[in-house]
Structure 1
Amino acid sequence: TGRAMIGKKVEYYEYEHFEDKPSERVSKGPAEFLGFGIDYEEVVSGAGIFSTAIILFGDGTVKNVSLEMIKFIG
């Protein structure tokens, strides 16, 4: 279940964009997984809802990020 994952370490990624080559996913460091969440993106036909990960960084910052931007590491 999702509860078993709470407190696990994750690696967080962001896409970096370049003018001369395709964007790539780059590690931005470790964080702690707090739970699953949801977010939405407005599109022409309405809202697209998707699952997210809520993560906590060592400095106390909390982010709600797309699931493909984390990797469980321990």
Structure 2
Amino acid sequence: MAPIHVLHGQPTPEELATVLAVVQSRAAAAQAAAEAARRAGAGPDSPWNDRARRLRATPRPGVNVWRTSGWAG
């Protein structure tokens, strides 16, 4: 975590502890939410792991369908 600097005023140790507790809990909550989204399958970790890439599009009728049907989709 980046250092925190007090710019104005003279906070008491209790006030500083309260602010740090809030900041740390928000950071932990954000990290937990990101981890939960990753575990829930919000998307593949990498485009290489995306199974949808393996699906091929159905050739559509047209002039060059015979030629383009062999191309990687």
TM norm. shorter chain > 0.5: no
Greater share of strand: 1
TM (normalized to structure 1)? 0.17
TM (normalized to structure 2)? 0.17
Greater share of helix: 2
